[in-house]
Homo-oligomer: A and B are copies of this chain.
Amino acid sequence: MAQLGKSLMDKMHAYWRAANYLSVGQIYLLDNPLLRQPLQREHIKPRLMGHWGTTPGLNFIYVHLNRVINARKQPMIYITGPGHGGPGLVANSWLEGSYSEIYPNVSQDYEGLRKLCKQFSFPGGIPSHVAPETPGSMHEGGELGYSVSHAYGAVFDNPELVAACVVGDGEAETGPLATSWHSNKFLNPLRDGVVLPILHLNGYKIANPTVLARLSTDELTKLFEGYGYKPHYVEIGKDPDDFAAIHRKMAATLDTVMDEIASIKARALREEKSGRPLSRPKWPMIILKTPKGWTGPKEIDGKKVEGYWRSHQVPFSDMTPGHIAALETWLKSYQPDELFTESGELRPDLAALAPRGELRMSANPHVHGLVSRDLKMPDFRDYAVAFDKPGNKVAEATRVMGKFLRDVMRDNMDAQNFRIFGPDETASNRWGDVLDASAKVWLADYKPEDETNDHLSTDGRVMEILSEHTCQGWLEGYLLTGRHGFFSCYEAFIHVIDSMFNQHAKWLKTTLDIPWRRPLPSLNYLLTSHVWRQDHNGFSHQDPGFLDHVVNKRAEVIRVYLPADANMLLVTTDHCLRSRHHVNVVVAGKQPALQYLTIDQAIKHCTKGVGIWDWASTDAGVEPDVVIACAGDVPTMEALAATDLLRQHFPDLKVRFVNVVDLMTLQPKSEHPHGLDDHEYESIFTTDKPVVFAFHGYPWLIHRLTYRRCGQENMHVRGYVEEGTTTTPFDMVVMNRVDRYTLAIDVIDRVEKLTRTGAHVRQAFEDKLIEHKSYIHTHGDDMPEIKNWAWPY
């Protein structure tokens, strides 16, 4: 392999200096961006914000990747794990021109340089991180842990792409990151692109050494070999200023790993051609050891800074005359006069080092959502569950959904832009039919029994690993590069990715206002194995609170659906897969359950999101005495059964039955685009009648959504109140008092004419609850009249 030539190396070194110079400039300089005047206090920002420590390493990697991209015409993207190295990525985008193309105001000249420096972490300017505003970013890196899973998500089905993924040694300590290394068991070397992890050990976090930087080389090597990688070390020597050595080492190593990648791809092609099974390659990775705050001040006030945690943020911010001089010395150490022209442009011979057009990592179309096509969608009506009358037929909603998804998968096989994700729950959540269209991807070892039964394949499009974090990270990476997916998860354990959801919702919210990014396919969740049916698992598996969590995020991007049967779920699924730039949370049961709406009724109902079910109501043409409302499959059944009980005992009672499928309709229109206007809301819920609401989740959520509605004081909500164990399905609703008897009692207690006359009925319902407890403790199962209940009208 040819050694990096001196001339090219000198230019690369200069380019790196330019990026470092501009990084320091962004952190410190308000003006005088090329130090053409002696540095004064007024040239320096009043508030110094940002992170220097990781930045020079990020810039070093960037210039070296640029060489590889040019030499091999290799499309690459840059995933910045240490996202607070924002100044470095912004600097590189500016240097290669994409920044000024997107933001003409920040031009490639002296005035643009001034703005570039000033705007960073400055009011009205740009954020400190590799945020959505940063060209080339699809990963903000604000919260740590997701760089590797995002990188894998981005290269799935992008066989030409290499994602260089810089992982900070801080981030490497997080759980999500620690398991995401195993993503290599789910990557197909022919169909997918490549992730090139670059573990950047700069030794320190905010105020501590990092664990991985303090392992022996032997342990570190074994760890990554154990993860299935072939680590290549690039390490600064004793002298951090011996740049030539490390440039040569980095260039040679990148050549080596790119050659290894090419060999791996070639071998896979040979395997395929010869009909042999694809083997799992040992993908190369780089372990780069450079000092934190490299090229920055060695010491400040007699204290070590370069190569130490003190360079994590702004190495010095008290702008004494001595510190101003130190800053000037530091900035001048990059020799800006040699880097920029008189007019403030990067010197042309250096600018020539950057790739051109879409080969620039800051202009890769994948990361801006520009490579995205809609799904071909089969007609969901073809999967509808047919029945004679509502509330009699039983079906498993998610199994029906699975058949629909199977054909979404089948119809988009050519486009290679649809995958489904789940933490070992695809079968458990009744999506098993999808496996008829595409297997589960698996590149770890096979056993003889796998092929016939386990639907495992090296080219499957169903992604399963028992890590909600990794599933979420893969899916996010896949969506952020314009493709589509659905994530099914046990309802309780979706909380594992609460914080990842936060970050993605924030990304969507911010990108709404960024015109050069295209709207992304929505992040779709099916939450099933829900709180009411944890027959096998009990209390630890019961938590419907993800809904409460998501509704805190911006209304523009959040949608919550609670389809109560299979046909409603079909309509909802179709809608979710066609939508863009939302987070769609769908809660639906996987157990056999009653069916209520024909597909045509379901379309109408789901389109409106909330509505009166006339067939279950007895208030035709008149004001109701009470509104019985519900959301979610189990509460809907209990609410209907309560209606039935009331109809039997109080035939004159006027009940209006309301089902809510789109939870956001409850909010005022001013709060959410799906919110009903007040007139619509009141025409359904009335302004003065008691409303007894059976809700799938924590009852307070309904109050939070409706507290501004007229008549909210009449709203009585039942839901999950954190009671549960391993018991029967009906006992779960009884424990939380959202059962049919309690709901009927709630109505009796709230409708004046019943309160007066219904005491004996009320007592009979109370007695039923006692009978229920006694029955299940003896028989271990619900009473037949409960189990076999169907809508009798």
Contacts and interface: CB of A to CB of B under 8 A. Distances in A.
A425 B207 CA distance: 8
A466 interface: yes
Contact of A469 (B49, B118, B175, B446): B175
Nearest to A227: B223
Contacts of A144: 466
A672 to B, nearest CB: 12
Nearest to A469: B175
A203 to B, nearest CB: 8
Given A142-B540, A424-B208, A540-B143, A553 B780 contact: no
A658 B352 CA distance: 64
A492 B174 CA distance: 16
A442 B209 contact: yes
A51 interface: yes
Interface in A113-169: 118, 121-129, 131, 140, 142-145
Nearest to A495: B499
A30 interface: yes
A509 B495 CA distance: 19
Given A46-B781, A498-B499, A776 B707 contact: no
Interface residues of A, number: 129
A451 to B, nearest CB: 12
Contacts of A83: 540
A538 B222 contact: no
A121 B467 CA distance: 27
B495 A49 contact: no
Contacts of A205: 424, 466
Contact of A538 (B129, B176, B467, B728): B129
A84 interface: yes
A637 B467 CA distance: 43
Contacts of A540: 83, 129, 131, 140, 142-143, 503, 506
A107 interface: no
Interface in A150-198: 170-171, 173-180, 182, 185
A220 B121 CA distance: 45
Given A206-B425, A777-B123, A214 B444 contact: yes
Nearest to A545: B552
A281 interface: no
A428 B226 contact: no
Contacts of A726: 49, 121-122, 125-129
B49 A535 contact: yes
Nearest to A554: B722
A579 interface: no
A704 B538 CA distance: 28
Interface in A426-468: 426-428, 440, 442, 444-447, 449-450, 453-454, 456, 464-468
A417 interface: no
A643 interface: no
A536 interface: yes
Nearest to A171: B466
A219 B208 contact: no
Contacts of A538: 121, 127-129, 131, 142
Interface string A218-246: 01111111111000000000000000000
A179 B175 contact: yes
Contact of A226 (B142, B222, B424): B222
A595 interface: no
Given A143-B540, A495-B499, A776 B175 contact: no
B47 A552 contact: no
A175 B145 contact: yes
A93 interface: no
B123 A552 contact: no
A703 interface: yes
Nearest to A700: B704
A779 interface: yes
Interface string A54-72: 0000000000000000000
Contacts of A465: 173, 211
Interface string A535-549: 111111101010011
A698 interface: yes
Interface of A: 30, 45-47, 49-51, 83-84, 118, 121-129, 131, 140, 142-145, 170-171, 173-180, 182, 185, 205-211, 214-216, 219-228, 304, 308-309, 313, 424-428, 440, 442, 444-447, 449-450, 453-454, 456, 464-470, 492-493, 495-496, 498-499, 502-503, 506, 509-510, 535-541, 543, 545, 548-549, 551-554, 698, 700-701, 703-704, 707, 712, 722, 725-728, 731, 773, 776-777, 779-781
Given A503-B540, A506-B540, 8 more contacts: A121-B726, A131-B539, A143-B492, A144-B466, A173-B466, A207-B428, A215-B228, A493-B499
19 contacts: A124-B777, A143-B540, A173-B467, A174-B179, A174-B466, A175-B175, A175-B176, A179-B179, A209-B444, A209-B450, A214-B445, A215-B444, A222-B222, A222-B225, A304-B449, A492-B499, A498-B498, A502-B543, A703-B703
For the complex of A and B, 5 pairs with smallest distance between CB atoms: A142-B540, A223-B226, A175-B175, A214-B444, A178-B179
